[in-house]
Copies of this chain bind each other. A is one copy, B any other.
């Protein structure tokens, strides 16, 4: 797919992936509504297959491939949810998934990839080592690369999340979406553009990995330098395909501190009784930190995933 996904592409992607993903529930909480003074609608992608929205884009990308394209498998580098999602999607499509992971990746994530049948190659924990190792794996295997977010097929798959939300919640005033590389954000932006053009989309980003915020404000793609945040799913930088969509269709980007990310995460666990990972708590953190100046609004919040090492819960200070 070489063009930005249009309405038809988004609709047909949603139909194609539907048998392989969950239509996740939307939850509400009276206590959090009172707390925020708004009506909050939480889209629970923590209940998605493989524990995160990434399953949507990964399966869409693989199902987009012709028989010849996928005959030698697919490949990516990822230490996180895309790795698991791609391994699962490849198994469904009957092909191999070569996953390059940093040697520092948590054992629990490596095990999850292997449980889906993913073939793991370890490398040094630097971006250049990851890219070089991936190139070499592709050279050896002939596998087709599927980037975690800078890919229109991924973007079209992630768009299905807001399509469901729109059907489940009715018209929302605002949608809050976490941003890392921008796959979920750009997919959500396109879906909102086509299906709920009067809703506003605000991206929420950790202060310690604020390349999207800086790029958005400056109008130029500025990759992350060093990152420092508990939101391990949001360390990546925007790509040349995701950034223009975000620039055009996102209303604003706000940043939040790790303090509020942890507070938001704990509030979701204790009040809603669901497990979300730090990255998923970033939008509620923006509300808690006073970055979303609204009251009485219908606010959609995308809880992006629930994959967290339960032996490293952040408020125990062991993260």
Binding site for B on A (CB under 8 A): 25, 46-47, 51, 266, 269-270, 273-276, 306, 310-311, 313, 315-316
Give the distance to chain B from A24, nearest Cβ to Cβ, in Å: 10
CA A51 – CA B269 in complex, angstroms? 12
Q: Report the bound CA distance from A47 to B315 in whole Å.
A: 23
* Assembly CA distance A270 to B273 (angstroms): 13
Q: How far is the CA of A229 from the CA of B296 in the complex (A)?
A: 45
A276 surroundings in chain B (CB, below 8 A):
273
A238 to B: closest C-beta gap in Å: 28
Q: Which residue of B lies closest to A45 (CB)?
A: B273
Docked-complex contact B273 and A47, CB < 8 angstroms: yes
Contact A315:B311 (CB < 8 A) given known A25-B25, A274-B275, A275-B274? yes
> Which B residues lie within 8 Å of A306 (CB)?
273
In the assembled complex, the CB of A218 is this many whole angstroms from the nearest CB of chain B, namely 37
**Bound Cα distance from A113 to B46, whole angstroms:** 30
Residue of B nearest to A25 (CB): B25
Residue of B nearest to A316 (CB): B316
Residues of B near A47 (CB, < 8 A) are: 273
When chains A and B are docked, how far (Å) is the Cα of A275 from the Cα of B275?
6
Q: Which 5 residue pairs are nearest across A and B when measured between Cβ atoms?
A: A273-B306, A273-B275, A46-B273, A269-B275, A270-B310
Question: In the complex, what's the smallest C-beta–C-beta distance from A116 to chain B, in angstroms?
Answer: 11
| 21 A-B residue pairings within 8 Å (CB atoms) | A25-B25, A46-B273, A47-B273, A51-B273, A266-B310, A269-B275, A269-B310, A270-B275, A270-B310, A273-B274, A273-B275, A273-B276, A273-B306, A274-B274, A274-B275, A275-B275, A310-B315, A311-B315, A313-B313, A313-B316, A316-B316
A273-B275, A273-B276, A311-B315 given; name 12 further pairs at CB < 8 Å. Answer: A25-B25, A46-B273, A47-B273, A51-B273, A266-B310, A270-B310, A273-B306, A274-B274, A274-B275, A275-B275, A313-B316, A316-B316
